Structure 1
Amino acid sequence: MKNKNLLSTLAIAMVVLFTGCSNDDTTQSDSVPTVALTSPSSSDTNVARNKVVSVKFSSEMDVSSINTTTFTLKQAGTPVLGSVSYSGTTAKFVPLTVLAANTVYTAALSTGVKSANGVALSLNKQWEFTTTANATAGLAAVGLGSAGNYVVLAKTAITNVPTSVITGDLALSPAATSFITGLSLTDFTGYAKAAQVTGKVFAADMVSPTSTNLTTAVENMITAYNDAAGRPSPDFVELGAGSIGGKTLTPGLYKWTSTVTVPTNVTISGSADDVWIFQISGDLSMSAATRIILQGGAKASNIFWQVAGKATFGTTSHVEGIILSKTGVTFQTGASFNGRALAQTAVILDGNTVVQPQ
Structure 2
Amino acid sequence: MGTSPIAQAALTGFALTLDASNTYATSDLVKSPSKVYAADHAAPTPAKMTTAISDMETAYTDAASRTLSPSGFSTVGLGAGDISDLTLAPGIHKWSTNVKFDLDIYFTGTKTDVWIMQIAGTFTAGPGAKVILAGGALAENIFWVVADAVAFDDGSELEGIFLAKTMISFNAGSKLHGAALAQTAVTMISAKINEPVY
The counterpart of 1:182, out of the listed 1, 4, 13, is: 13
Aligned to 2:83: 244
Once the two structures are TM-superposed, the CA of residue 353 in structure 1 deviates from its matched residue by 1.3
Q: Note if contact 2:111-2:137 (Cα within 8 Å) is conserved in structure 1.
A: yes
Alignment partner of 1:314 is 2:158 = no
Aligned to 1:232: 67
Once the two structures are TM-superposed, the CA of residue 242 in structure 1 deviates from its matched residue by 1.1
Q: For residues 180 and 313 of structure 1, what CA distance do their matches in structure 2 show?
A: 19
Once the two structures are TM-superposed, the CA of residue 235 in structure 1 deviates from its matched residue by 0.9
Cα deviation per residue 1:21-77 (whole Å; 9 max; x = unaligned)?
A: xxxxxxxxxxxxxxxxxxxxxxxxxxxxxxxxxxxxxxxxxxxxxxxxxxxxxxxxx
After TM superposition, the score normalised by the length of structure 2 is 0.94
Aligned to 1:216: 51
Q: For residues 323 and 227 of structure 1, what CA distance do their matches in structure 2 show?
A: 13
Q: Note if contact 2:102-2:128 (Cα within 8 Å) is conserved in structure 1.
A: no
Aligned to 2:24: 191
Aligned to 2:2: 171
Q: For residues 186 and 193 of structure 2, what CA distance do their matches in structure 1 show?
A: 12
Cα deviation per residue 1:271-301 (whole Å; 9 max; x = unaligned)?
A: 1000000000000011001100111111100
Q: For residues 292 and 175 of structure 1, what CA distance do their matches in structure 2 show?
A: 32
Q: For residues 2 and 100 of structure 2, what CA distance do their matches in structure 1 show?
A: 28
Q: For residues 133 and 12 of structure 2, what CA distance do their matches in structure 1 show?
A: 32
Q: For residues 247 and 196 of structure 1, what CA distance do their matches in structure 2 show?
A: 34
Cα deviation per residue 1:301-338 (whole Å; 9 max; x = unaligned)?
A: 00000000100011001010000000100011110110
RMSD between superposed Cα atoms in Å: 0.8
Higher-Rg structure is: 1
Alignment partner of 1:257 is 2:92 = no
Once the two structures are TM-superposed, the CA of residue 249 in structure 1 deviates from its matched residue by 0.5
Query: Matches of residues 293-304 of structure 1 in structure 2 within 5 Å?
Result: 293-304=132-143
Q: For residues 171 and 146 of structure 2, what CA distance do their matches in structure 1 show?
A: 17
Q: Kindly tell me the number of residue pairs found equivalent between the two proteins.
A: 189
Q: Give, as a single letter, the amino acid of the residue that structure 2 aligns with 1:221.
A: M
Q: For residues 249 and 298 of structure 1, what CA distance do their matches in structure 2 show?
A: 11
Once the two structures are TM-superposed, the CA of residue 245 in structure 1 deviates from its matched residue by 0.4
Q: For residues 67 and 145 of structure 2, what CA distance do their matches in structure 1 show?
A: 14
Q: For residues 193 and 48 of structure 2, what CA distance do their matches in structure 1 show?
A: 23
Could you say what secondary structure the match of 2:143 adopts? strand
Once the two structures are TM-superposed, the CA of residue 232 in structure 1 deviates from its matched residue by 1.3
Q: For residues 196 and 121 of structure 2, what CA distance do their matches in structure 1 show?
A: 25
After TM superposition, the score normalised by the length of structure 1 is 0.52
Q: For residues 252 and 210 of structure 1, what CA distance do their matches in structure 2 show?
A: 36
Alignment partner of 1:205 is 2:40 = yes
Aligned to 1:282: 121
Query: Matches of residues 1-358 of structure 1 in structure 2 within 5 Å?
Result: 170-188=1-19, 189=21, 190-198=23-31, 199-233=34-68, 235-358=74-197
Cα deviation per residue 1:157-197 (whole Å; 9 max; x = unaligned)?
A: xxxxxxxxxxxxx0100010000012210101200000011
Unaligned runs of 5+ in 2: none
Aligned to 1:114: none
Q: For residues 217 and 176 of structure 1, what CA distance do their matches in structure 2 show?
A: 15
